Structure 1
Amino acid sequence: MTAMPIALTIAGSDSSGGAGIQADLKTFAALGVYGASVITALTAQNTSGVSGIHDVPADFVTAQIDAVFGDLDVKAVKIGMLAQLPTIDAVVAALKRWSPQHIVLDPVMVATSGDRLLAADAVAGLRTQLIPLASLITPNLPEAAALLDEPVAVGEAAIESQGKRLLAMGCPAVLIKGGHGQGSESIDYLIRGSGTVALSAPRIATKNTHGTGCSLSSAIAAGLAKGEDMETAVRAAKAWLSAAIAAADRLGVGRGHGPVHHFHGFY
């Protein structure tokens, strides 16, 4: 019997279940991958916003990572909310020790609701320590701009230019997500040293987009865990997420930005 591929998410918990660890585990399950989790922070949040953040001590983040890698054959790691610099330091040290094959880094800085999720002094740690370890980083347009201390890019040439400067930070691939852009198409740009691939999908009119970034990065990690190459994993993840967003209004969860429908393929 072939063992089920395993992916690990290192991220924050969303008490309302739409983003963070909860979204990642739902995504892994929906895509046929066994999910393990390391929780970096607890959030008190719902579809309307974040009302509190409780950071998990860095040494306990380390203990969780060592427990998972010490027993499970992890094929890919997704990293989301890290909140503070000591957590980044702990994650970097542990990943260097365990050397997973694939690391997808979603540089979570701000929630869909606009609440800040990353301390200002931690951004430098993200840039200099974590990005060079990643196989792929998945910033949206505001996050890409924040990582570079630049204005938000407008237009394909500016987005590609920012992507190339992010590559120079040490990761082999960057996916700049176009969900915050304008127009009838939502275009993501996969930028690598070998060139840029534009991935387009119709922009879906819904307010229920809570956890889209978390779910996309974990869907890519799931594909990598199953042995897909980077472009195949990214294309499949975007197609899956587009369907999950299109089905989001069927859920009717919460009064704010509701979650996407992770299990749209099942019910």
Structure 2
Amino acid sequence: MLSYQHAYHAGNFADVHKHLTLYTVINYLLRKKTAITYVDTHAGRGLYPLNAQETQRLQEYREGIGPLWQARNELNDPLLIAWQAAVATAQASSATLTHYPGSPWWLSHSLREQDQLRLFELHPGEHEQLSTQELPANAQRVFGDGLAGLEAMLPAITPRLCVLIDPSYERKVEYQEVADTVAYTLEKARHAVVLIWYPLLPAGHHHTLLDALKESGQRKIWRSELLLREPGEQVHGMFGSGMVVINPPWGLDERLAAAMAEITPLLGSSSRYQADWWVGE
């Protein structure tokens, strides 16, 4: 099943949650000169024009990057200010929000000469769009299954590995597939930093993923969730966004908590953020 296209949801609250977390992790990793291989298993298009027909259909960015952009000159948190400044560099004009940068943009703009980036995308249309994006020489696009591709490239050729896994979860079995791939990855690279995004839906299928991770025996699993609204009988579709970070950099939890304290009021009165150690050290 390859019907999912992220352009319909570009810039929504889940993107803000996911990419702010990714940005924070990357900046911690860049404090050391040692080379990093980044892997994005479900890359998408890379850069999303917000005036695209697909994006305008749902306009989910109005409950995500939109209000943050409008408040960008009133922010106080240093991490959030820096992230918003980076978002501004993806715009045709720094004064107007016209594009939302996806994970390939964030990763490719963080590459140093010694680093590597592998971008996997299985959807033909999405991969075609990704192929139009300008990337540095040490970034490679791969048309194929990202989970299988990640497993096939292990061990990484660099001393450090950072993986982002964010499927659409159109198939329920993907929750278990992700858990299995993560277990294999950490067998081959036990110090890898692995980020996993998951949706919070009324059916609660994300518990399959979380339970499998806990039962794997892996330590140092931190999770955070950004809820746009509370779950309940009146909620249909995604009401929240979840992120798991395995082997997170020290201080990640505190930095994100401070940034989210400014973000949640901008997303509405029902929005809230929660985080904990799903599995400690």
Normalization by structure 1: what TM-score?
0.39
Greater RCO, 1 or 2 (C-alpha within 8 Å, sep 6+): 2
